[in-house]
Amino acid sequence: MGITYVVVIFSIIVQGLTIGPLVKRLGLSISEVPAKEEDNN
């Protein structure tokens, strides 16, 4: 059971550290999406 928790926590940390650079590589920005929606309104 202990190994399961370690694997889950490790995977969450890895995803948290890699999603930022991944978003930047894709040219997306979370802060830009609400700004575009506000401009359309």
Among 12, 11, 30, 10, which residue's Cα sits nearest to residue 20? 30
pLDDT in tens, 7-23: 999 999 998 888 888 87
pLDDT for 26:
77
Parse the chain into domains and list their residue ranges: 2-40
Q: How far apart are CA 41 and CA 29, in angstroms?
A: 19
pLDDT in tens, 19-39: 888 877 777 655 555 555 555
Residue 35 structure tokens? 């700004």
Residue 20 near residue 27, CB atoms below 8 Å: no
pLDDT for 6:
95
Residue 34 structure tokens? 């609400």
pLDDT for 37:
54
pLDDT for 25:
78
Residue 13 near residue 6, CB atoms below 8 Å: no
pTM of the model: 0.46
Residue 8 structure tokens? 């889950």
